[in-house]
Structure 1
Amino acid sequence: MKEQLGFDFGVAQPQRLTKVSPARLSTFDDCPRRYRLSYLDRPSPQRTGPWAHSTLGAVVHNALRALFDLPVGKRTPQRAMALVGEHWKDAGFADEEQAARYRARAKGWVAEYVEDHDVSHDPVGLERWVSAPVSTSGPAPSMIIEGRADRIDQRGGELVVVDYKTGRRPPDEHEARASQALAMYAVASARTLRLPCTKVELHHLPTGTVAAAEHTSETLRRHLVRAEQTAGDLRLATDTLDAGGDRDELFPARPERRCAWCDFRPSCAAGREYGPPVQPWDLLAP
């Protein structure tokens, strides 16, 4: 596995390692203030209410996971639609009418997904937690990458990481290749399940688009180098905060467009000053 991927997973741990997930890294990259509010401040600061697009995504993910937990003969479009109904929540939608409209859409998405894809093979991982100690510059690991992959398939003796999407825009190959999260899942899946993993896929339920990318050891390394740099910045800021450093200077806000739908908008003056909020249902796929 080490030779196949072209970098060291390491065994000995001579120094304290930072555990990082794609969510933590992307949050810190986007806005260090949001990272602090999400993971460090206790008690947890005030958040917004639920978002309809997050509810919709969670329902579809849960329905597909439940579908693959069934025997192959029961993985039908009709059962997929029923699972959407069983997992449905109205949180974040404008009203019952809007929620019912998107519930119907979600049922159609999963039914078409089952019709258009081979669901007869059992994934080797569903919402599977994977992790790996890695290093990009020597034998000793510098961090532990970890996270929960939507689905991991085994095809022809190799693993494929599958990530479901329900957003407004269908993804493309560039987005799949550029996803640090998918690259980290590929590396951690290879380590956890002891099989090669270089292929990643984004499955967009609203359009049926499948965006696939094949990584090389070098493209995976580039993602890990970037993750390592962010992990180092994150660790330094956290350690300095623990030593009594200024919380706002160490974790500055980066106001931008996403402040309009940030979960921590009620607790961040900089985000509120940047512009008005959006409605909880404004980010739904049209």
Structure 2
Amino acid sequence: MSMQLGLDGMPARLVRVTPSRLATWQDCRRRYRLTYLDRPAPPRGGPRAASTLGAVVHNALHAVFGERPARRSAARAALEVDRHWSSEGFRDDAQAAEYRERARTWVGDYVERHAVVDAPEPVGEVVGLERWLSAPVGAMVAEGRADRLDDRDGQVTVVDYKTGRRVPDAADAAGSPALALYVLAARRTLRRPCRRVELHHLPTGTIAAAEHDEASLAAHRERAEAAATALGAAADALEEDSRRAEELFPPRSGARCGACEVRRHCPEGRAAAPAEPAWSGLAP
């Protein structure tokens, strides 16, 4: 637990948060409790194909970008997909084989376009791969693992890979709380200028980019601090009195409950939406 001096001179807690914790809290407080607070943690749903596919692509790109540009190639990228492949969550072997081939193509095309020697759209010097960032930011400690950090003309760019159905745009990049937190943490951790964020959508080859200024970062920071303070206070109150669990962490049900990994423990979620198959969410 980190501390700073409060207004009364006494130590005040700095709440440690990651983008996933903040997103879960803002999406559904019951899911937050079941995921991060309850011990022993309740059983979750089985693996989902979209998450499996995303992890494979991330791992393959991490391996390729960890090599010198001269050792990177589409063929190497495809081999890394094979090396990290998992069929968990897919409907059947045929669907898994189809998406394995798609992932090989996505990653190979991406590497050829951005990562090899004389690439047509080079990314710059890679200064961080799956880099853990942790830095005090106001009333919280912002933490998380950035997919990639690039140095472009002395400025650090935060890159996040996407493999889902939805193609992101510039508004998504600018509005991403996760990317903004990574910018704030990268500035403190690396002590270098950082304001550009990018979402790289592998299925379409789309890059959605945004440049933060101090005002936009301040707005993201204010929202994140408010959420961090609230979730920290709720967790403390729950620790003091476990009987307040439903009051402090009410469900927020809706259509998205169909894919929730803790829906088996949530009657409201099960009533709100039928269970989605484990392969829903895959890019078409």
1:39-54 alignment, distance < 5 Å:
39-54=36-51
Q: Does 1:131 align with 2:131?
A: no
Q: Does 1:280 align with 2:283?
A: no
C-alpha deviations, 1:193-226, integer Å up to 9, x for none? 1101000000000000000000001100100000
Higher mean C-alpha deviation, range 99-108 or range 259-268: 259-268
* TM-score, with structure 2 as normaliser: 0.92
| Separation of aligned partners in 1, 2:37 and 2:224 | 20
State the secondary structure of the residue aligned to 1:124.
strand
The aligned residue for residue 19 of structure 2 is 22
| Separation of aligned partners in 2, 1:186 and 1:119 | 26
The aligned residue for residue 212 of structure 1 is 209
Higher mean C-alpha deviation, range 269-278 or range 50-59: 269-278
| Separation of aligned partners in 2, 1:98 and 1:159 | 38
The aligned residue for residue 138 of structure 1 is none
| Separation of aligned partners in 2, 1:119 and 1:251 | 48
The aligned residue for residue 8 of structure 2 is none
Shift of 1:12: 5.2
**Residue type of the partner of 2:131?**
R
Q: CA RMSD in A?
A: 1.3
State the secondary structure of the residue aligned to 1:89.
coil
Shift of 1:119: 4.5
C-alpha deviations, 1:21-55, integer Å up to 9, x for none? 11001100000000000000111112110000000
Shift of 1:274: 1.1
| Separation of aligned partners in 2, 1:73 and 1:118 | 9
Give 5+ residue unaligned stretches, structure 1.
1-10, 136-141
Match of 2:229 among 214, 232, 237: 232
The aligned residue for residue 150 of structure 1 is 147
Shift of 1:181: 0.3
| Separation of aligned partners in 1, 2:79 and 2:19 | 32
What is the number of equivalent residue pairs in this alignment? Answer: 270
| Separation of aligned partners in 2, 1:37 and 1:47 | 9
Match of 1:117 among 103, 114, 118: 114
| Separation of aligned partners in 1, 2:84 and 2:150 | 24
Q: Does 1:94 align with 2:63?
A: no
Percent of aligned pairs sharing the same letter: 54
The aligned residue for residue 8 of structure 1 is none
C-alpha deviations, 1:65-84, integer Å up to 9, x for none? 00011222111011001100
Q: Decide whether the 8 Å contact of 2:256 with 2:273 is kept in 1.
A: no
Q: Decide whether the 8 Å contact of 2:69 with 2:115 is kept in 1.
A: no
The aligned residue for residue 36 of structure 1 is 33
State the secondary structure of the residue aligned to 2:282.
coil
**Residue type of the partner of 1:71?**
R
Q: Which has the higher contact order (CA 8 A, sep 6+)?
A: 1
State the secondary structure of the residue aligned to 1:15.
strand
Q: Which structure 1 residue ranges, 4+ long, deviate > 3 Å from structure 2?
A: 11-14, 118-122
| Separation of aligned partners in 2, 1:70 and 1:198 | 26
Q: Decide whether the 8 Å contact of 2:65 with 2:115 is kept in 1.
A: no
State the secondary structure of the residue aligned to 2:12.
coil
| Separation of aligned partners in 2, 1:93 and 1:134 | 40
Shift of 1:16: 1.4
Give 5+ residue unaligned stretches, structure 2.
6-10, 118-123
Q: Decide whether the 8 Å contact of 1:68 with 1:119 is kept in 2.
A: no
| Separation of aligned partners in 1, 2:265 and 2:39 | 13
Match of 1:250 among 248, 251, 256: 248
**Residue type of the partner of 2:264?**
P
**Residue type of the partner of 2:144?**
G
Q: Does 1:105 align with 2:99?
A: no
Shift of 1:143: 1.2
* TM-score, with structure 1 as normaliser: 0.92
State the secondary structure of the residue aligned to 1:202.
strand
State the secondary structure of the residue aligned to 2:13.
coil
**Residue type of the partner of 1:223?**
H
